[in-house]
Amino acid sequence: MKASVGVSVVFCLALLGLGSAIKCYNCKDYMGTCTKIRDCYYDDACVSVYERGGDTYRQCIKYSDCDFNTVSQKFPKLSSFKFSCCTSDLCNAASVTGHSVVGILLSLALFWWCVL
């Protein structure tokens, strides 16, 4: 019984985020001190593009455009870079945010509660 309640709670919490737009950091920085935030569209993701030995670009991008070829077309001046895409609010920050840590801890607590 506890397990089915736990699974139902997790499922309902997951549904709360469906279909809503996310917020992403939107800037070009070198030190990871970006504070500008932009509201993205519902089908967007947050992208961080790391120029080799240089700046980091953070912005919204269509989720379907999160592949190397498309990102390289959007940033044609960059010859060597790495990038990452993510789909939660402000996930393209320079470091792990408090919300991520709280989410992980709540997930672990729910898991242990269901197991016991």
What confidence tens digit (pLDDT) does each residue in 65-107 have?
999 999 999 999 898 999 999 999 999 998 644 445 556 666 6
Q: What is the pTM of this model?
A: 0.63
Tell me if residue 104 falls in helix, strand or coil.
Answer: helix
Q: What average pLDDT score do residues 7-20 get?
A: 49
Amino acid type, 82: K
CATH 2.10.60.10 fits 2-115, yes or no: yes
What confidence tens digit (pLDDT) does each residue in 36-63 have?
999 999 999 999 999 988 899 999 999 9
In the chain, what is the straight-line distance between the N-terminal and C-terminal CA atoms, in Å? 11
